[in-house]
Amino acid sequence: MNTSYKNHFLKIICPQLLLGSVAVIDIVINSASNWLWLTFIMWFLMYVMGEGIFLHRYFAHKAFETHSWLAKTFAVFAALGGFGGPIGYRATHVGLHHAFSDQDRDPHTPTKGWWYAIVGWHLVDHKLPLTICKTLLRDKFYVTLESNIVKLWWAVFITMLLIDLRLALYGLALPGLIGYLFISWTNAAGHSLGSKRFDNKDNSSNQPLWSWFCWQGSGALQNNHHAHPARFHDSWAWYEFDIGKYIIPVIATKVNDRS
């Protein structure tokens, strides 16, 4: 099973950033904004649902329970967005980021610099505590997905490319680029800029205004999230927007509302 961050960054994220930039240039030069509806849909499926609600809330923090087929479907969408698989994500996010928040073993803390939090940490093959992923490791689907994310991404990209170039650019590369930029802002600014509601003994902070753009409490309300990581949403006030507060109760068979 390949959980190499360097491999993932070089073979998926870098091409995604380059091809997403081509889409941006296409918008400017050829006024191709009529394809942005596809970008929005795929951004929502891959970033908001795939990464935010399923990789983060479901697989990493077990904030709710849902149907197996639904979890597997959005695990695939998250992988296509360039966010990795459930096993590597849970091990990194819970076993390293939350366990050692803003300490030396935190893989993407901005205390090591914004460049490191955005790019540098991808180029380090961190030793992942896979022991906290025992349930996922017993499921052949997730093990297979984790081992074949690069092949899956390129297979889907080439298939889209053969159908229509702009389908590949606007349906996979550009939403992946946007999602990467959003995640990068979370890693860097979410632990250095903003306000604090809770004393978490780390640098996690809230950015309520940003929550209305990224639609994820965990992406903008880091201080709230680090105080109550297993809660199924991070909104504690009307001005803090977390779309999971409204989506998760609809798709879940059980939610965790511990506060």
Q: Comparing 40-54, 78-92, 112-126, which segment has the lowest mean pLDDT?
A: 112-126
Residues 6+ apart with CB under 8 A from 224: 197, 198, 206, 217, 234, 235, 236, 240
Q: pTM value?
A: 0.94
In this predicted model, what pLDDT tens digit does every residue of 104-157 receive, in sequence order?
Answer: 999 999 999 999 999 999 888 888 999 999 999 999 999 999 999 999 999 999
The pair of three-digit structure tokens given for residue 32, joined into one six-digit string: 């191709």
Between CA 205 and CA 114 the distance in angstroms is 15
CB 120 within 8 A of CB 113: yes
Q: What pLDDT shows up at residue 258?
A: 61
In this predicted model, what pLDDT tens digit does every residue of 190-247 receive, in sequence order?
Answer: 999 999 999 998 999 999 999 999 998 888 999 999 999 999 999 999 999 999 999 9
Domain ranges of the chain: 5-193
Whether residue 259 is predicted with pLDDT greater than 70 in this model: the reply is no
Q: Above pLDDT 70, what percent of the chain?
A: 98
Between CA 229 and CA 247 the distance in angstroms is 18
Mean pLDDT of the residues in the chain: 92
How would you class 134 by CB atoms within 10 Å of its CB: exposed for 0-12, middle for 13-18, buried for 19 or more? exposed
